[in-house]
């Protein structure tokens, strides 16, 4: 029996007042989104890296209004949305005093052929456990429960079995009563005595606007194909940590290395607004930015 426990905390650097409210709230509602659906599954069993899961191959070009179950965690400072019917992902997060999204909240649910089983939609924070790639549950309903905790915080716990790796995963999305950040605590459990995949990543999305800049500690980056270069300025003198400077070549993927750090920042220069992430290095050592893809292994809270 093996147990893997990750603690991931999303940091918001904002002073909390003495008269902050002492209770966060959690609600569940059906919310309509314009949705580009995916088809019924391929009925033919195929030996793949995600067997015995089937694959979805058809994707609609016509959007329809569809209701989705949305869990909302809220306190005086921020509001966090969770979608248990779409992989249990954090659908988005908003800083209330400005109305700004510090986790990209996509108002359209548009499934496309990206994940292991095909269906995937952008935005929010996506949870992936098991075999390499976007997990089999990334666009499927998962189990969930809502909790009002004794300390005034609230939690939405999502999770599912992963048949391919023979494991089970849980992620608690917790909002404190009077703090301007939220936490994710991930538990991954192998109930068998057999060895299996140990692969976990979480994809966090931010608005890809031209004033976006990443502040990732480190001076070396590795791309998706294993190619390497310097960070934040590449060999051609281009400051690639700024989104606007990446309009060359194809999609970009930068895995930033060579510095032991427990946090990083993303900053929107025109808005004077951004997000911060913190997690213990020995529990979550990696960070990656993707332009044309999406930033991964990033959790967030707004900064000013």
Q: Using pLDDT thresholds of 50, 70 and 90, give the confidence band for residue 304.
A: very low
Percentage of the chain beyond pLDDT 70 is 86
Between 199 and 269, the more confident residue is 269
**Whether the predicted pLDDT of 140 surpasses 90:** yes
DSSP 245: G
Please tell me the predicted confidence (pLDDT) of residue 286.
60
SS (H, E, C) 9-50: ECCCCCCCCCCCCCCCEEEEEEEEEEEECECCECCCCCCCCC
pLDDT for the residue numbered 89: 97
Give the pLDDT of residue 65.
97
What is the per-residue pLDDT for 268? 94
Please tell me the distance from the alpha carbon of residue 63 to that of residue 73, in angstroms, as a whole number.
Answer: 28
Which is more confidently placed, 282 or 208? 208
Mean pLDDT of 126-145: 91
Between 72 and 298, residue with greater pLDDT: 72
Q: Tell me which of 295 and 51 has the higher pLDDT.
A: 51
What does the pLDDT read at residue 284? 64
Residue with tokens 């992936």: 128
As a whole number of angstroms, the distance between CA 127 and CA 137 comes to 9
Give the tens place of pLDDT for each residue, 174-193: 999 999 899 999 999 999 88
Residue 17 has pLDDT above 60, yes or no: no
Residue 249's pLDDT is: 86
Q: Where are the domains of the chain?
A: 1-205, 208-304
Q: Measure Cα distances from 52 to 113, 161, 208 in Å.
A: 19, 13, 36
Using DSSP, state whether 253 is helix, strand or coil. strand
- Are residues 81 and 69 in contact, defined by beta-carbon separation less than 8 angstroms? no
pLDDT in tens, 86-133: 999 999 999 999 999 999 999 999 999 999 899 999 999 999 998 778
Query: What is the CB neighbour count within 10 angstroms for residue 97?
Result: 13
- The mean predicted confidence, pLDDT, of the chain is 84
């Amino acid at each position: 029996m093996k147990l893997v426990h990750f603690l991931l905390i999303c940091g918001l650097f904002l002073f909390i007042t003495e008269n902050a409210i002492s209770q966060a709230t959690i609600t569940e509602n059906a919310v309509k989104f314009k949705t580009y659906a995916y088809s019924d599954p391929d009925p033919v069993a195929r030996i793949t890296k995600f067997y015995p899961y089937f694959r979805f191959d058809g994707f609609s070009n016509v959007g329809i209004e569809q209701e989705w179950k949305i869990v909302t965690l809220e306190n005086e400072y921020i509001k966090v949305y969770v979608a248990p019917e779409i992989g249990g992902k954090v659908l988005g997060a908003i800083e209330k005093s400005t109305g700004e999204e510090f986790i990209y909240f996509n108002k359209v649910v548009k499934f496309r052929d990206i994940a292991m089983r095909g269906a995937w939609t952008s935005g929010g924070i996506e949870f992936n456990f098991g075999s390499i790639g976007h997990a089999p549950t990334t666009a499927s309903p998962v189990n969930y429960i809502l909790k009002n905790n004794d300390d005034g915080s609230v939690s939405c716990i999502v999770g599912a079995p992963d048949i391919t790796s023979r494991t089970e995963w849980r992620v608690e999305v917790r909002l404190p009563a009077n703090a301007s950040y939220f936490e994710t605590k991930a538990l991954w459990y192998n109930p068998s005595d057999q060895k299996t995949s140990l692969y976990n990543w979480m994809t966090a999305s931010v608005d890809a606007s031209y004033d976006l800049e990443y502040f990732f500690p480190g001076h070396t980056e590795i791309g998706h194909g294993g190619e390497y270069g310097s960070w934040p300025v590449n060999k051609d003198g281009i400051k690639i940590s700024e989104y606007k400077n990446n309009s060359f070549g194809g999609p970009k993927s930068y895995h930033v290395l060579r510095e032991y750090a427990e946090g990083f920042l993303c900053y929107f220069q025109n808005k004077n607004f951004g997000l911060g992430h913190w997690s213990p290095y020995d529990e979550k050592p990696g960070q990656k930015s993707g332009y044309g893809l999406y930033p991964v292994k990033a959790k967030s809270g707004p900064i000013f």
